Amino acid sequence: MAMRIALLILALATPVVYGAQHVVGGNQGWSQTTDYATWTAAQTFAVGDTLLFTYDSTHQVDEVNQADYNSCSSSNAIKNYNGGSTTITLTTAGPMYFICPTSGHCAQGMKLSITVGAANGTTPSGSPTAPTGTPPSTVTASPPPPPKSGVASISCNMNNLMFGFLLVFVTMFAYMG
């Protein structure tokens, strides 16, 4: 009994801090046949969101600057991703540009430009506990782990506080049971 309550409380207390995930190109994924201008127009990108590129082995993903986006050049790519499934966390507000480096693909429309807005709701702007320096833009095949308390916003600190109280309750239940 006590164990079940403890598990329930732990589940409820797990902080939910993930932003939205944007599957690039929707059902069509990352390919030459997708109209990315149309897809992008229906999206709202915010710091904390993630982009998910899914593609076959004929494609890759290069993050590039605006000039290289316009000219379809991947020779100065900021980052290159491959492997068929790429998750990119949006860490900075502003424009981002992606192209496929496979010869001819960008010219055929395999290019994506987005504008990332400020974080949605949960994190107050100008948070006094905001970390200095931007976190590295991480790329993994799986969702990022929950933030450590060291890089917490105010809302995360509240979560940790709640979590602490709940742990006390869980311990009490465990002794009672």
Q: Identify which of residues 22 and 59 has a Cβ nearer to Cu ion in the complex.
A: 59
d(CA 162, CA 169): 11
Q: Give φ, ψ of 61 to 5 degrees.
A: -125, 125
- Residue 101, number of CB atoms within 10 A of its CB: 19
Q: How far is the CB of 101 from Cu ion (least distance, A)?
A: 8
Give, in order, the Cα–Cα distances in Å from 159 to each of 116, 124, 145, 173.
26, 14, 15, 21
Q: Which letter does DSSP use for residue 13 in this model?
A: H
Question: Would you tell me which residues interact with Cu ion (CB under 5 A)?
Answer: 59, 100, 102, 105, 110
Q: How far is the CB of 51 from Cu ion (least distance, A)?
A: 16
Tokens of 148: 């450590």
Q: How far is the CB of 32 from Cu ion (least distance, A)?
A: 6
Q: Identify which of residues 54 and 155 has a Cβ nearer to Cu ion in the complex.
A: 54
Q: Identify which of residues 22 and 105 has a Cβ nearer to Cu ion in the complex.
A: 105
Q: How far is the CB of 59 from Cu ion (least distance, A)?
A: 3
Tokens of 97: 């540009």
